[in-house]
A and B are shown apart, each in its own frame.
Chain A
Amino acid sequence: MKKVHPEAGIACDTMNEITVSVENLTRRFGRFTAVDSISFSMNPGEILGFLGPNGAGKTTTIKMMTGLLRITSGDVFIKGMDVKKKLKRVKRFTGYMSQKFSLYPLLTGFENIEFFGGVSGLKRREIKEKMNEIRDLVPESYLYRKVKNLPPGIKQQVALFSCLLPDPEIIFLDEPTSGVDPVNRRRFWMQINELKKNHKSILVSTHNLDEAEFADRILIIHKGIIVAEGAPSELKAQGNFDSIEELFKKVVSDEKAH
């Protein structure tokens, strides 16, 4: 595999090494089409921001990509493997975290890590090491508390840590920052940037538009359709917008007019 120099930046070197490709992905619930034939790709060492208002189809898309939801039509290939057919193998390369259900609330932080470590097939010794590692990120006293009693920022830290336990190449983060305060949100994005330097492919969905600036590339989905795609700076330049927020308002209201 082609090595990418950590400082080499994003797009150009890695474009031909697509890790995830989504083709005409569609999901219908009865007569309602939640995701309407969308296509995009993910690259190593790239943060892909997935924006859209509530109910736009962000979670539905991510759930289909991770095999949590059946695909109505279209395809998802992860490292060339069809998610519909090779789900078990695909799981070895992917990590998934959602703000809502990523940890067992009745277990403590340490117990959750023990569980997810064990489930991902880590050895006892490796799990012990990981438990030491997280002490550097989160004050130890929190880790002995049940997750349901933790503040959102800490919960998010533990959730991200558990999601990364098997060291996945491709990481799906579904609204990881919702309900998290600005300080922790910032810290979170710094961590994501570290992951990016390690050539991970990262998809982050969010409805915090200011966070879009952290992404290398963004997709805006509205009513199941991708209405804008590109690097934040490009997109802003194209339409002469001052911020992504402005752009977002424009494309979302455009859609409404149809």
Chain B
Amino acid sequence: MKKRIRAVITKEFFHILRDPRSLFIVLVLPVLMMFIFGYSLSFDIDRIQTVVIDYSQSELSRSLIDRFASDPYVLTAVYPGQLKAVNPFETAEDMLRRRSIKQYVVIPINFASGYHKKIKQAITAVIDGSDSNIANIIHQYNERLLMDFISERKNVKDFLSIDTKTYFNPENKSSFFIVPGLAAVIMMMISALLTSLSVSREKESGSIDLLFISPLGSREIILGKTIPYIFVALLEGAFIILFAKFWFDIPFRGNFLILLVFALLYVITGLSFGITISTLASSQKVAMIATLLATLLPSILLSGFIFPLDSLPPVLRGFSYVVPATYFLLIIRGVILKGSGLQHFIREGLVLLAFSFIFLNIASLKFAQKRKNRH
């Protein structure tokens, strides 16, 4: 049995190396996806265009305005509140509507005097709320800015606050949260995609007859076809994690090797899932589309990647338990962001193993069935 599986493994390796389609998936797609999603899903903003309406026009207000001129803020204009010729509010709101600025900030008239008299003061920030995530982040930046401003001055702690006007509740998200999750989604998709084509490709070319007619058992064929991709997928996983770390500057608090061990289990799950689809699909096209749908949608929507699991309705919540990404997300976020160790994720690791076991068995069974009932 070992000898024969080895023959299949060797052959599959050659096929991986010589099939441009597989190579493309392996090399180009993950980078492309990391870029596209990594940036489009990035909740960090590097330019917050701001207009300040300054009623106070004091030394104090000017030093606050200076802060709005520094990174990541882009101070677009400062309007003195007293100027009667232009209505600064109207201008600012119009800019907000045209999306030329992301927020405008109003400094009240008695900002300086109140500060000196230690009377409670609030500046107002009106933020473009069309994207709740962006609005939320701007709000957080503003808070930080004000904190910094306060910390440099004495005795004003309770007297200065920021009054934010947006339509959405603040959520707690950042790129640190997104990118590891993104890695989980991409790893699942790529590994499933790799194997999903491997049986259907032979079905399409007709060479599957060679396997059918061989003395190989169905389990041997399925394992032989899956194993070589483990190396490819693991390499890919390591690459994606390193890409996240170095390109997106994700702080890596845990152990890379520990994460790799779990990544290994996770990609095996993905590969097993892919080969299962491959045995069911009639053509490569069908296999590819089915794999993309079946991996991306649940991995993105039902794994806790974007929507917190707690906020899912009970039915979908239940469904999230059968999405492998749900478990790996816990692991990858835990290891990367919290520095969790091997012992924290034994349950998740076992679940991933169980998934692989189940998928591989379904695939072998389906393959044997196909072999028996040829048309």
Residues 1 to 33 of chain B near chain A (Cβ within 8 Å): 3-4, 6-8, 10-11, 14-15, 18-19
Q: Which residues of B contact A (CB under 8 A)?
A: 3-4, 6-8, 10-11, 14-15, 18-19, 205-207, 209-210, 212-216, 372-375
Chain B residues touching A, majority SS: helix
Asked if A92 lies at the interface with its beta carbon under 8 angstroms from chain B, I say yes
Contacts A/B (CB < 8 Å), 10 sampled: A91-B214, A101-B209, A102-B210, A107-B15, A114-B7, A115-B10, A115-B11, A116-B7, A119-B214, A121-B215
Bound-state CA distance A202–B18 (Å) is: 35
Known: A96-B213, A116-B7, A121-B4. 15 other contacts (CB 8 A): A63-B374, A67-B213, A68-B209, A70-B372, A70-B375, A91-B213, A91-B215, A92-B215, A101-B207, A106-B19, A107-B11, A111-B10, A116-B214, A119-B7, A119-B214
Nearest CB on B from A257, distance (A): 32
Of B15, B213, B214, which is within 8 A of A106 by CB?
B15
User: Which residues on B sit within 8 Å (CB–CB) of A166?
Assistant: 215
Q: Which residues of A contact B (CB under 8 A)?
A: 29, 63, 66-70, 88, 91-92, 96, 98, 100-102, 104-107, 111, 114-121, 123, 146, 166
Of A69, A100, A102, which is within 8 A of B375 by CB?
A69
Bound-state CA distance A194–B284 (Å) is: 42
Contact A118–B10 (Cβ < 8 Å): yes
Of B7, B213, B373, which is within 8 A of A117 by CB?
B7
User: Which residues on A sit within 8 Å (CB–CB) of B373?
Assistant: 70
Contact B207–A104 (Cβ < 8 Å): yes
Bound-state CA distance A123–B373 (Å) is: 32
Nearest CB on B from A159, distance (A): 10
Nearest opposing residue in chain A for B372, CB measure: A70
Of A66, A107, A121, which is within 8 A of B213 by CB?
A66
Bound-state CA distance A105–B375 (Å) is: 25
Nearest CB on A from B165, distance (A): 63
Q: Which of B3, B372, B373 has the most CB of A within 10 A?
A: B3
Contact A68–B212 (Cβ < 8 Å): yes
Contact A70–B15 (Cβ < 8 Å): no
User: Which residues on B sit within 8 Å (CB–CB) of A92?
Assistant: 215
Bound-state CA distance A96–B210 (Å) is: 9
Contact B4–A114 (Cβ < 8 Å): no
Bound-state CA distance A248–B205 (Å) is: 33
Contact B209–A120 (Cβ < 8 Å): no
Contact A120–B214 (Cβ < 8 Å): yes
Nearest opposing residue in chain A for B214, CB measure: A119
Contact B15–A119 (Cβ < 8 Å): no
Contact A104–B215 (Cβ < 8 Å): no
Nearest CB on A from B343, distance (A): 41
Known: A70-B374, A101-B207. A119 touches B10 (CB 8 A): no
